[in-house]
Amino acid sequence: MVNQDVLKQHIGTIKKTNPALRILGKIVLYTVLIIGAIISLFPFFWMVSQSLMTLGETLQIRWLPSVPQWQNYAEAWSRAKFGEYFLNSTMVTIGTIVGILITSILAAYAFARIKFPGSNLIFTLFLATMMVPESVTLIPNLFMIRGNIIPWGNWNDTFWVLTVPFMANAFSIFLLKQFFQQVPNELWDAARIDGAGHMRFLTQIVLPISSAPIVTVILFAFTGAWNAFSWPLIVTSRKWRTLMVGLYNFVSEAGTETHLLMAGAVISLIPVLVLYVFTQKQFTQGIATTGLKG
């Protein structure tokens, strides 16, 4: 104890020896951090600023609109159909999240808490799918959903084609399994004495204490589904076009209408932004602890 105090004092004196240098260091530190923050933020500022300009203003050298043109958003929403795409993306995202939660909670519980033959093999195969680039799976999956491999009809441009293939992934199962394994066995023993089976133990004891990893799974499922691009691009045409595909197509359809394009971009960003601001702790912690999702 005494020793530590002496040490801390000692460190304190070393640090205090050069106040001018320390202040200079602080200035440099904050300058670098602020420049970094400006670079991170600038594209977002530019997006919002341009979305509120008139068509003429976007073609001039201006930083801000003279009068914010809020009706750009209404125009992008209805005329450029971003409203329709927004609803599609929302439904697809919710459907995917629900699917992922059901499949991964059940599977993670089985892998974490029940010993069964083939468990290691199946889990390893699951993990192996995380390495496979989308380039490999894209073409066969296109045949799959067109009913060429399994005769279940053509799913092209439906709700199912955008959700079902993504309703289970190794990452979510892995994340939940890690957590479910830490639930003490005593709880299971107690539950079993009370006559509870696996399903009741899972829903009434395990799930209520697993909110943290479940939120992480929801966050990743949300960004994954909302940001998805290459798959929706090839399997949707009109009816189920998602926001990202709509935005990409609008790049060529809009021509010079940058203000509408930017309004669409802001619309596509808002749900992610809202979610991020409210759950950023879980977001960053989820990434730091899993390190996955490169």
* Number of residues lying near other proteins (CB under 8 A): 99
Q: In which element (H, E) is residue 106 found? A: helix 82-113
Q: Binding of other proteins at residue 153 (CB under 8 A)?
A: no
Left (φ > 0), alpha (ψ -120 to 50) or beta: where does 81 sit?
left
Q: Binding of other proteins at residue 212 (CB under 8 A)?
A: no
Q: Binding of other proteins at residue 144 (CB under 8 A)?
A: yes
Options 6-14, 69-77, 78-86, 203-211: segment touching other proteins (CB under 8 A):
6-14
Distance of closest approach, residue 70 Cβ to other proteins, in angstroms: 20
For 269, residues 6+ apart whose C-beta sits below 8 A from its C-beta are 44, 47
Answer whether 259's CB lies under 8 Å from 51's CB.
Answer: yes
Subset of 101-140 contacting other proteins (CB under 8 A): 102-104, 106-107, 109-111, 113-116, 119, 122, 125-126, 128-129, 131-140
Q: Binding of other proteins at residue 167 (CB under 8 A)?
A: yes
Site string for other proteins, 60-99 (x = CB under 8 A): xx--------------------------------------
DSSP-derived 3-state class of residue 275: helix
Distance of closest approach, residue 16 Cβ to other proteins, in angstroms: 13
Q: Binding of other proteins at residue 170 (CB under 8 A)?
A: yes
Subset of 261-290 contacting other proteins (CB under 8 A): 261-262, 265, 268-269, 272-273, 276-277, 280, 283-284, 287-289
* Angle formed at CA 292 by CA 291 and CA 294, multiple of 5 degrees: 105
Largest Cα separation within the chain, whole Å, is 78
Rounded distance between C-alpha atoms, residue 247 and residue 253, angstroms? 10
Q: Binding of other proteins at residue 173 (CB under 8 A)?
A: yes
Q: Binding of other proteins at residue 46 (CB under 8 A)?
A: yes
In terms of C-beta distances under 8 Å and separation of at least 24 residues, what long-range contacts does 248-257 make, across chains too?
Answer: 250/80, 250/82, 254/80, 256/55, 256/59, 257/55
Nearer to other proteins, 2 or 14 (CB): 14
